[in-house]
Amino acid sequence: MRNTIPAAALMCALPLATGQHHYGPSKWNGPHEGSKTWPGHSYSPTASASAAASSSAGSQQQTCDMLTAAEVEAMGNNTLFNRWRPRSHFLAPAGWMNDPCAPIYDPTRDVYHLFYQWHPQHINWGNISWGYATSKDMVTWEDHNGWQDHEALALGPTGYGNYNGLGIFSGTGQPVNMQGEVDGTLLLFYTSVAHLPTNWMIDYQPYTETQSLASSTDGGKTWTEYAGNPVINTTTNMPPMSWNLTGFRDPFFEPWPAMDALLGQDEAHYYAVFGSGIKGVGPRMPLWSAPASDLTDWTFLGALWEPAANTSLGPLLSTGTYGFNFEVSGFFSLPDSDGNLHYYVNMGTEGGNLTFHESNHWALWNEGVVSRRENGSAEFTPIAGGAGDWGLSYALNSFNDTKNNRRVQWAWAPEDLAGDDGLFSAHQQGFQGSLTLPRELFVHEVDHVLNINGSVSEAREASLRQHSDGTFKALTLGVRPLPDVVSALLAPATHKTYDVGTITAPQILQQSGSMHMRFKATITSHTGACGLLIATSPDEDQTESTRIIYEPTNHTLLVDRSHSSTIQEGFNNASVIGYFNPYTVLSPHHPNTTNPAEPQPQQEPITMDIFIDGSLVEIYLDERFALTTRIYPSMECSTGFGVFVQEGTEAVFERVEAWMGMLDAWPKRPRDSSSPLVFDSPAETGNYTWWPGN
């Protein structure tokens, strides 16, 4: 067993990230530890690339050949296509992908639709289009018109000089026509891009971004741009907004009956918010509306929310920073168990560099009170907030799943490549990015919470309702992977349970697991840092291993990736930090030993629910915390898992379970759905000023 580093020390050693515009990967230069080899093992590129194409339960055939950075760099395009590729998540058939767009449930045909930002046959951002797939259940998916090359394309740029000539940026959709009627029409609302580059830090060129509509009357087989596009054609320093813009993109639109009532609307309206900001002032969430009877007629209602630049709701560790510009904004209302509505916004924040967050982009949420200003406009005032994802996932996009009466959210999970200016292994893999599992959002409630020394109220992650006995009900935004989707994905898996109980030292529970699995455990008590081990190599020294640790001294979850891969110079191995503070509750189920008539304060158990799918790792805690990260083990046999405690710590683990070998979410794609990679010419890229071209 290798020497371990205390979790608190790891947090103090985190580097300051220097992320770029969210469409491109950030650059990170990690330490070079040199190549490691095991006696008797050598690497075969052909064997390694092909072996990664199959993954089942714990009995799967795995090799312990160690891939090196030099070997990766010597390999050709697409040769590592399946080495770290997720198979149970939503992702493009090949090429670059980023934001999820326009998730829709079509009640006329009983079909789910989901789009995504796409640059087919390229491994970097550029010429952004919309790829497209459909599903009957959000479990298995089928590419629109096929998976090869550009076949899955739904919308694409039309060439420089047009309102949508250089990009189809993010947006949303509704299963209605332009008169708000449900007749089988599908309606998309997106940002049309005429000029590039765009970035909150540079001067905004007029009419860079406008807002446009496209529709389909044949269930998504074909799409038609609205002849009157763009339907919102204002720009920087022009009425009706008259803002010195940092950006104006990513329309999120829905009916919002509660807003109709607040504003005294005589007829039903749709409302839209956008990612935006005012230079030198702060990020903004502009609010527009259109009557449901005419979704081409949009009116500016002012800023729904006006935070100052680079501020935060509460402590940075627990609520994050608003930065200088918003992207991919959204709004929704959710009822609690008493039927009271809670109003939420989500946003991608740009520019707020923090030492403990690995990017200057952050997916956040806030709950707030929506009121009416004296001038008649609506105002959002935040009362609680946190991260929609504490890791690298970004560009949150949600929709009302009317089939199941629930709010479902998708998020983009970029790669985490460090070498070669953030493109190490990108050509060899032949793609970048995927989406997270679909997540259900709900009002999470815990009763009889103790606000000890103000620890809950000061964190600002929850709103509190006080009871007569001095305890509180804590209400925050809940998040969990869709239970029905998870059940279906695990249907073919091998399920095992482990009797762990009390431990005082780390334990490997199984040396050979799967690259596509779920691992879940509940920690019922602990005296220090503890958690789970994943992606562990079977050698005695655990040459490769990832530790997921709850650190009670500062209420954080730490993902220690310092030994996740021996390819240190190629992949980001920085630790990932998220804030999580278990509640202390007065529970009648734990009587006070000195006074049986009084309940005993008890810290709630911590349930860690982890999904590993190729390089993608999603971590959920107690249905109110999500963190996404990436790991790239150099050895295919690094699939072991276990439980962890820091030296001198005792912890009790219950309900420890693993499911190995998850369902393929793309049954109609071949396992190798790679496409030939191409490089754009200077003419296609504005002499490489619009996008890199690779």
Least reliable range by pLDDT among 105-109, 291-295, 591-595? 591-595
- pLDDT tens digits, residue range 84-98? 999 999 999 999 999
Shared domain check, 515 and 394: no
Give the C-alpha separation, 216 to 130, whole Å.
14
Residue 62's pLDDT is 65
Calpha distance 248→205 (Å, rounded): 11
Q: Within 10 Å of residue 467's Cβ, how many Cβ atoms? A: 12
The band of 587, judged by pLDDT with boundaries at 50, 70 and 90, is confident
Would you put residue 219 in left (φ > 0), alpha (ψ -120 to 50) or beta? left
Detail the DSSP E strand segments found in 451-555: 463-466, 472-481, 494-498, 501-503, 507-510, 516-526, 530-536, 546-551
CA-based nearest residue to 649, from 564, 584, 552: 552
How far is Cα 138 from Cα 135, in angstroms, rounded to an integer? 5
Residue 219's CATH number: 2.115.10.20
**Averaged pLDDT score across all residues of the chain:** 91
The two tokens of residue 435 are 């989406």
Q: How confident is the model at residue 353 (pLDDT cuts 50, 70, 90)?
A: confident
Strands 95-106 and 431-432: parallel
Please state, in angstroms and rounded to a whole number, the distance separating the CA atoms of residues 685 and 694. 10
Domain end residue (candidates: 436, 456, 476) = 436
pLDDT band for 627, please (50, 70, 90 cuts).
very high
- 501-521 per-position pLDDT tens digit: 999 999 999 999 999 999 999
- 126 within some domain: yes
Q: Are 267 and 373 within one domain? A: yes
Q: 504 with 391, same domain?
A: no
3-state secondary structure at position 571 = strand
Please report, for the domain that includes residue 648, its CATH number.
Answer: 2.60.120.560
pLDDT at 46: 33
List the one residue out of 344, 343, 339, 361 whose CA is nearest residue 352.
361
Q: Are 372 and 405 in contact (CB under 8 A)?
A: no
C-beta separation of 460 from 477 below 8 A = no
Q: Which of 312, 167, 187 is nearest to 247 (CA)?
A: 167
pLDDT tens readout for residues 599-611: 789 999 999 999 9
Q: How many CB atoms lie within 10 A of CB 398?
A: 25
- In a domain, residue 530? The reply is yes
Instruction: Give the pLDDT of residue 499.
Output: 97
Alpha carbons 389 and 281: distance in angstroms, whole number: 26
* Cα 673 off chain centre by: 24
CB 507 within 8 A of CB 642: yes
pLDDT at 403: 98
Q: Is residue 474 part of a domain?
A: no
Q: In the predicted model, is pLDDT for residue 37 greater than 90?
A: no
pLDDT value at 570 more than 80? yes
Mean pLDDT (whole number) for 335-342: 96
pLDDT for 660-677, tens place per residue?
999 999 999 999 999 999
Residue 8 has pLDDT above 80, yes or no: no
| Per-residue pLDDT band at 342 (split at 50, 70, 90) | very high
Q: Determine, yes or no, domain membership for 617.
A: yes
Is 301 among the domain residues? yes
423 and 507 both lie in a single domain: no
pLDDT given at position 20: 31
pLDDT computed for residue 595 by the predictor: 63
Q: Residue 569 pLDDT > 80, yes or no?
A: yes
Residue type at position 398: S
User: What digits encode the pLDDT tens for the residues 139-166?
Assistant: 999 999 999 999 999 999 999 999 999 9
Q: What is the mean pLDDT of residues 26-47?
A: 30
pLDDT at site 53: 36
Do 423 and 534 fall within a single domain?
Answer: no
Cα 650 to Cα 5, 154, 508, 552, 579, distances in angstroms: 17, 54, 16, 13, 22
HEC readout, 628-690: EEECCCCCCCCCEEEEEECCCCCEEEEEEEEEECCCCCCCCCCCCCCCCCCCCCCHHHCCCCC
Cα three-residue angle 273-278-284, rounded to 5 degrees: 30
Q: Which residues contact 477 (CB under 8 A, 6 or more apart)?
A: 344, 365, 367, 386, 441, 442, 443, 444, 624
Q: Percentage of residues in the chain with pLDDT exceeding 90?
A: 87
Query: Which of 12-21, 186-195, 418-427 bottoms out in mean pLDDT, i.e. has the lowest?
Result: 12-21
Number of domains in the chain: 2
Q: Structure pTM?
A: 0.91
Whether 271 maps to a domain, the answer reads: yes
How many angstroms separate the Cα of 296 from the Cα of each of 164, 173, 232, 289, 629? 17, 14, 9, 10, 40
For residue 553, the tally of other CB atoms under 10 A from its CB is 11
DSSP 8-class letter at 357 = B
Please count the other Cβ atoms lying within 10 Å of the Cβ belonging to residue 28: 20
237 and 338 belong to one structural domain: yes
pLDDT tops 70 at residue 42: no
Query: What value does the mean pLDDT take over residues 36-59?
Result: 34
Alpha-carbon distance of 535 to 548, in angstroms, equals: 11
Over pLDDT 70: what percentage of the chain? Answer: 89
Same domain, 398 and 509: no
Tell me, what DSSP letter sits at residue 609? E
Range of the domain at 566: 495-586+599-660
Same domain, yes or no, for 499 and 428? no
Closest CA relative to residue 146, chosen from 132, 159, 160: 132
35 pLDDT band (50/70/90 cuts)?
A: very low
Is 487 among the domain residues?
no
User: Which string of b and e fits 631-662 if b means at least 16 CB within 10 Å?
Assistant: bbbbbbbbbbbbbbbbeebebbbeebebbbbb
Residue 688 lies in a domain: no
Instruction: Work out the average pLDDT over 353-369.
Output: 92
- Spatial contact of 213 and 246, defined as CB atoms under 8 Å apart: no
Structure token pair of residue 33: 């530890």
Side chain identity at residue 426, one-letter code: A
Residue 41 reports pLDDT greater than 80 = no
Q: What's the CA gap between 200 and 350, in Å, rounded?
A: 8
Q: What is the pLDDT, as a whole number, of residue 358?
A: 80
Rg (CA), the chain: 25
pLDDT value, residue 60? 47
Helices and strands in the chain, H and E counts: 9, 40
Where does a domain end: 391, 415, 436?
436
Q: Which residues in 281-300 are b (16+ Cβ under 10 Å) and which e?
A: ebbbbbbbbbbbeebeebeb
> Do the Cβ atoms of 89 and 437 come closer than 8 Å?
yes
Residues 238 and 334 in one domain: yes
pLDDT at 50 over 50: no
Task: Assign 355 a pLDDT band (cuts: 50, 70, 90).
Answer: confident
Residue 562 CA, chain-centre distance (Å), reads 22
Residue 201, pLDDT score: 96
Q: Strand, helix or coil at 104?
A: strand
- Residue type for 133, please? A
d(CA 36, CA 668): 39
CA dist 102 and 120 (Å) reads 19
Q: Which residues pair with 477 in a beta bridge?
A: 443
Name the nearest CA neighbour of 283 among 366, 189, 351.
Answer: 351
Rounded to an integer, what distance in angstroms lies between the CA atom of residue 252 and that of residue 258?
16
Same domain, 390 and 528: no
pLDDT at 590: 54
Phi-psi region of 408 (alpha: psi -120 to 50; beta: other; left: phi over 0): beta
Using pLDDT thresholds of 50, 70 and 90, give the confidence band for residue 63: confident
- C-beta of residue 630 within 8 angstroms of C-beta of residue 24: no
427 lies in the same domain as 504 = no
Map residue 552 onto helix, strand or coil: coil
Question: Is 518 found in the same domain as 634?
Answer: yes
